[in-house]
Chains A and B, each alone.
Chain A
């Protein structure tokens, strides 16, 4: 007869995976605010071809951000001791952020 404590994986009392999951949620929220502002800028003063294209690109970037966060959140939930973030995931997150800023710079002119 095994005790329930031995059968179940030890739960981290510091709730590190949960805190990391919530950090990803907060980050997607920040990303959403930035994307909404970007799309507002793109559609400001009537719809032009450039504005619509850049606005659509911002939507795609935002969706990419959500997909990345969702994958990481699922990986965090899958195991009691999740693996570290892969460098490629971190890099892609940064590239999406930089692309959003580039869209902003393009819309200023």
Chain B
């Protein structure tokens, strides 16, 4: 947890990350930036999905609609926070010449998306009956 707090401090302190190790090949940094942007797009898609559930499934019961929308919005927030955290960790590992950090997050996100998709199928089927 203290490692996470240290990372959060690094989000706001650009000079601190530059003091560590050497500057990697600019192409590695740009590749890291593109990965960060890809995760950010995933987060934006989840947030857009949250808005879409609220807007385009008006026949759902209030609880289901709000619950699904909030779950998608929360997933988007988590995904974006994790994107910047992972980017900082990768950047620091490259500067120190260490291995890149590994993460369970992609697997967790895949499972969450699968569960939300199944819930959507269930809710749409039940919602049309009721």
Interface residues of A (CB under 8 A from B): 12, 14, 16-17, 19-20, 23-24, 26-27, 30-31, 33-34, 37-38, 40-41, 44, 81-88, 90-91, 93-94, 97-98, 100-101, 104-105, 107-109
Contacts and interface: CB of A to CB of B under 8 A. Distances in A.
Nearest to A24: B37
Contact of B69 (A82, A85, A90, A104): A104
Interface stretch (B46-54, B99-107, B111-119): B46-54
Interface residues of B, number: 44
A9 to B, nearest CB: 12
- Going nearest first, the 4 A-B pairs with the smallest beta carbon separation are A84-B29, A37-B51, A34-B48, A30-B44
Given A23-B33, A34-B45, A87-B12, 19 more contacts: A17-B30, A30-B40, A37-B55, A41-B54, A41-B55, A84-B26, A84-B91, A85-B33, A87-B14, A90-B11, A94-B40, A94-B81, A97-B77, A97-B80, A100-B47, A101-B47, A104-B47, A104-B50, A108-B70
The CB with the most chain B CB atoms within 10 A, among A33, A90, A109, is that of A90
B26 A81 contact: yes
The CB with the most chain B CB atoms within 10 A, among A38, A100, A101, A105, is that of A101
A101 B12 contact: no
| Chain A contact residues, majority secondary structure | helix
A88 B37 contact: no
Nearest to A93: B40
A20 B26 CA distance: 12
B83 A94 contact: yes
Contact of A37 (B48, B66, B91): B48
B13 interface: yes
Interface string B1-36: 000000000111110010000010011011111101
B25 to A, nearest CB: 9
B60 interface: no
A89 to B, nearest CB: 8
A88 B38 CA distance: 18
A94 B13 CA distance: 15
